[in-house]
Amino acid sequence: MAFLMVSAAACGAGDSDTVSTGDSDQTQDGTDVASEIDGRSFWSVAVTEDGQPRELVEGTRIQVSFRGGDISASAGCNSMGGPFRIEGEALFGDSYGMTEMGCDPLRHAQDEFVVSLLTSQPTISVEGDRLVISSASVTVELVDREVADPDRSVTGTRWNVTGFIQGDVATAMAVTTEGWIEIVDSTMRGNDGCADFEAPVEYSDGSTGGPVDGDGEMQFGPRDPEPRTDCPSQEYTDAFNELFATGDATIELRGPNITLLNRDGNGVTFRAAEQSG
């Protein structure tokens, strides 16, 4: 995937030693803010420009995430990100990388809007679950992603397959019968796009102690029955069952989406089925 480099503006917010936190009288320095936002993602809930509400493209939102000194952001098409630092009130990113996917004109303009904001050395403040990023003319109010869209429960949820991961390659396949899984007690039930199956499983979310990568891990027992080799969409079924090859997988959970990835770098992505009623 192609990237372009985005340089930060030469001028921006002032060098105050504190960050505003809304109505609170408390102040924070850049280290406090960086520590509080590390490992978190935020979704936009309100955007204003020159004092007036700015409507985002339908079906999109501004997303901003922070992890280990890096920031990433998207607004419905391309993604941008790179190292950042906070000095006083100001968010600095000396050079950000950005993907170069083709977008429709409205989403392309929205990408540029976010780039302009984040490279203007905007002010940044955080209070609890809310984050505010502001330039001289733009204010974006965001809320913690886990509040806006809580993670679904790994167990007791029906997870429908959305794609596959094989090393550095992510793929999606159109098939007549889509795969799914559901974990109840210590059993995974599902369909691999060809046939129903069951397998014993142990799930840990890290609360019981011991090292857990990502948001959790699973240990798999043997499938019953064994995968078939006469399926209409054999490539799909084979990709699904690669997940079980190592007997374990790490879990990454984000709202209604989950990724299971085994130690060989093969995995499956799922989305929670909508609940009726």
Judged against a pLDDT cut of 90, whether residue 276 lies above it is answered with no
The answer to whether residues 36 and 167 belong to one domain is no
Domain boundary among 146, 174, 196: 146
The answer to whether residues 99 and 67 belong to one domain is yes
Nearest to 252 by CA among 120, 152, 109, 184: 152
The answer to whether residues 133 and 172 belong to one domain is no
Judged against a pLDDT cut of 90, whether residue 272 lies above it is answered with yes
Q: Which domain holds residue 227?
A: 159-272
Residue 85's CB is within 10 A of a number of other CB atoms, namely 14
pLDDT digits (tens, 9 = 90+) for 20-61: 333 333 345 667 899 999 999 999 999 999 999 999 999 999
Q: Cα-atom radius of gyration of the chain, to the nearest Å?
A: 22
Q: What integer pLDDT is reported at residue 45 of this predicted model?
A: 96
Using pLDDT thresholds of 50, 70 and 90, give the confidence band for residue 237.
very high
Judged against a pLDDT cut of 60, whether residue 15 lies above it is answered with no
Q: How far apart are CA 260 and CA 216, in angstroms?
A: 9
pLDDT digits (tens, 9 = 90+) for 182-226: 999 999 999 999 999 999 999 988 554 444 455 789 999 999 999
Beta bridge partners of 139: 48, 134
Using pLDDT thresholds of 50, 70 and 90, give the confidence band for residue 275.
low
Which two tokens mark 150?
Answer: 């809580």
Q: Which residue do the tokens 């997303």 mark?
A: 63
37 in any annotated domain: yes
Q: How far apart are CA 36 and CA 7, in angstroms?
A: 26
The answer to whether residues 107 and 136 belong to one domain is yes
The answer to whether residues 120 and 194 belong to one domain is no
CATH number of the domain where residue 267 is located: 2.40.128.270
| Cα dihedral sign, 117-118-123-126 | positive
Domain boundary among 118, 146, 174: 146
Q: What integer pLDDT is reported at residue 63 of this predicted model?
A: 95
152 in any annotated domain: no
Domain boundary among 146, 173, 198: 146
pLDDT digits (tens, 9 = 90+) for 65-120: 999 999 999 998 888 999 999 999 899 987 788 887 778 999 999 999 999 999 99
Number of domains making up the chain? 2
Q: What integer pLDDT is reported at residue 213 of this predicted model?
A: 52
The answer to whether residues 207 and 228 belong to one domain is yes
Q: How far apart are CA 6 and CA 82, in angstroms?
A: 10
The answer to whether residues 122 and 11 belong to one domain is yes
166 in any annotated domain: yes
The answer to whether residues 134 and 28 belong to one domain is yes
Which two tokens mark 161?
Answer: 């397959």
153 in any annotated domain: no
Report the percent of the chain where pLDDT is more than 70. 84
